Amino acid sequence: MDTYRPEEAWAFAQLDEFWERYRPLTPWGKDAAEARPFIADRAELERRYDDVEAALGFLADRAGDPSSLDRASYHLRRMPRLALEAKDSYELIELFQIKKFIANYRGARSALGEPLALRFGMEGLADGSAAKALAAELDRGGSDPETFYVADCYDGGLAEARARVAAADAAIRSERVRAEAGARLDFGVGFDGREFLVLPKETTRAMMAAAGSRFSAEPFDDARYVVRVMPSDAALEAMSDRERALADERLAEERVIARISALAAAAMPELSAAVAATARWDLARAGAALATEFGMTRPRLDSGSLALERARFEPCAWECGRLGLGYTPLTAEFRSYATVLFGSNMGGKTVVLKTLLFFQLLAQAGLFVPADRFETRVYARVAYVGELTGERLAGLSGFGLELWRLMRARGEDDDMPAAEGADACGASPAQAGAPAPSGEPAEGAALIAFDELARTTGSHEAEALLSAVVESYSGGPGSASSGNGDRAFFATHFRGVARLPGVEYRRMRGLDREAAAAAISSAGGAGIPGGGLEGRLAGINKHMRYEVVDDDGSGSESDALAIASLLGLDGRIVERARYYLTKDGL
């Protein structure tokens, strides 16, 4: 089965911008980060959290020694990608990369210290091991730990062959110097090491007539020739010697590379283990650096509820900062299988859903989370049903896409073709399946966020459909949650959703109307003070209370009309809207 990727949930939770701050340094750590892991095995997640805590301890211990921290990072950055499969023969560049890896692996171990290195499985090269023998052999080729070439010391035939090449090169140079000196003396032509000269026709004819065997000539244009010095018999003999010496050198180098390749193939299991241990440390270090930067804490995965305390949905906090708006961290606890969250537009209910998925996906990537406390459990799937950035769900195709995502989230009809626009975030129907989480109480449990389900149909039908879907996750007999522990969150502005047993009903606290009314009054009744739309929206933001509170079902006027007043809409229109809102029970 392919690895499950919650692509749509990831996109909805805006994780990409935050994920860029997670920066492993090695090729394998970068590969793991780029894969955007989703881990449904609690034991593996706890191990990763333990790793991050160990890395946090290292960073704290070395906080007063920046050079030590720099050394640890330096060696991770210097590690090259290795070909980890055993082969009969390795390329010279591959042997160089192995030597460079070993040098930086040793440096990284030294920077960590023996106890921490061993904690991550970064074993030293044991005496008598294939890796130790390989390292010793590679150290013979190169003047420093990060250079490698096939040195003379590797094979007795190498020094002799290279000496013959050098002697032949010297003889060829000597003959060339002698030939150029003769050309200057006899004809006043100076080649001065150049391969050829372009000479006048008359000069060329005189040179060819007097010493044709010493030069070659070919036409350049109507008045000039390209003239070259021809090698002497002694030079030709030296060139032949050189070719024979080079062939002997190649054979000797092949013997050396074959011998070192055999050592590398034997050492490959140890090198692969060293790479895996290094990647483990790299990911832990990157997770610890991220946790330090954002004040992140370890998730708790043993909770029957989903609880957050001062949870910071960082992408939203950054956007609020860019706009000069305030941001309120989320504190809430949800105990039921199904939760309905009411709220008007601008009230923050969608941000609550984003926050929940953001935290769950971070936790199941094996990372800490930016909250004072986050309690949850491990889910086999994290899904999202709703509109994504760049999509416009409308009409039949929009309703079809909503139903398709709903069916996928419930694990139904995986073969159903995607509606138009369904591939907006790159997900495929096959992704609805997932491996069961190890140690979890039920197989295939999912965390699902529904944002304005059935928005593309009429309000009465939408409320009916939404009520039925909520009921299916309520935990009662026959519901999706009763069999496998699915937990579902529904954000909606429809107030006619059925009140069902086993379902939590919450709402966004929304607009502080008394404070907003005071602001309007101080502005003479012409809307909230502020310059232009952005200024007034910023003013409204100051009076919004982004808090989750219980909803008792009594209902209240939507914030929409109050916001219209705050923006300065004609008060007569607002009052008539209130009249129609209450007329005949509307």
Q: What is the DSSP string of 203-232?
A: HHHHHHHHHGGGEEEEESSSSEEEEEEPPP
- pLDDT at res. 519: 60
Secondary structure class of 564 (helix, strand, coil): helix
Flag whether 141 is in a domain: yes
486 exposure class (CB count in 10 Å sphere: 0-12, 13-18, 19+):
buried
| Same domain (yes/no): 24, 141 | yes
Flag whether 127 is in a domain: yes
Strands 544-550 and 503-511: antiparallel
Distance of alpha carbon 445 from alpha carbon 443, whole angstroms: 6
Flag whether 483 is in a domain: yes
Beta carbons of 103 and 141 less than 8 angstroms apart: no
- pLDDT at res. 531: 58
Please state, in angstroms and as integers, the Cα–Cα distance from residue 329 to each residue in 151, 336, 348, 372, following that order: 63, 22, 11, 10
Distance of alpha carbon 487 from alpha carbon 382, whole angstroms: 10
| Same domain (yes/no): 74, 209 | no
- pLDDT at res. 441: 37
| Same domain (yes/no): 448, 478 | yes
- pLDDT at res. 433: 32
| Same domain (yes/no): 193, 136 | no
| Same domain (yes/no): 86, 125 | yes
Tokens of 433: 């399946």
As for how many domains the chain has, the answer is: 4
- pLDDT at res. 431: 30
- pLDDT at res. 423: 35
Q: Directed axis angle between helix 201-211 and helix 156-187, to 10°? A: 110
What CATH number should be reported for the domain holding residue 459? 3.40.50.300
| Same domain (yes/no): 554, 457 | no
Strands 330-334 and 196-200: unpaired
Q: What is the mean pLDDT of each run of 10 residues along the chain (586 residues)?
A: 76 94 97 95 97 97 89 95 89 94 96 96 94 94 84 91 96 95 94 94 93 92 95 95 96 94 95 97 97 97 93 92 85 94 80 96 98 96 82 58 75 48 33 33 76 75 87 79 83 88 88 63 57 61 75 68 73 79 61
Flag whether 121 is in a domain: yes
Q: Mind giving me the DSSP string for 430-464?
A: GGG--PPPTT-SSTT-EEEEEESTTTTS-HHHHHH
- Partners of residue 369 on adjacent β-strands: 297
What CATH number should be reported for the domain holding residue 277? 1.10.1420.10
Tokens 């832990």 — which residue?
284
| Same domain (yes/no): 575, 478 | no
Largest Cα separation within the chain, whole Å, is 120
Distance of alpha carbon 326 from alpha carbon 316, whole angstroms: 10
Flag whether 51 is in a domain: yes
Please state, in angstroms and as integers, the Cα–Cα distance from residue 550 to each residue in 93, 339, 397, 400, following that order: 65, 11, 35, 33
In degrees to the nearest 10, what's the CA dihedral of 423, 424, 430, 432?
-140
Flag whether 324 is in a domain: yes
Tell me which of 481, 511, 541 is where a domain ends.
511
| Same domain (yes/no): 483, 516 | no
Beta-carbon contacts of 534 under 8 Å, excluding residues fewer than 6 positions away, are 323
Secondary structure class of 140 (helix, strand, coil): coil
Per DSSP, 151 falls in state -
| Same domain (yes/no): 566, 497 | no
- pLDDT at res. 421: 36
| Same domain (yes/no): 148, 172 | no
Quote the pTM value: 0.80
Tokens of 206: 């005189």
Flag whether 246 is in a domain: no
Range of the domain at 184: 163-238
Tell me which of 210, 238, 266 is where a domain ends.
238
Beta-carbon contacts of 339 under 8 Å, excluding residues fewer than 6 positions away, are 488, 489, 490, 503, 504, 505, 506
Flag whether 277 is in a domain: yes
| Same domain (yes/no): 471, 582 | no
Beta carbons of 359 and 369 less than 8 angstroms apart: yes
| Same domain (yes/no): 411, 316 | yes
Tell me which of 476, 491, 511 is where a domain ends.
511
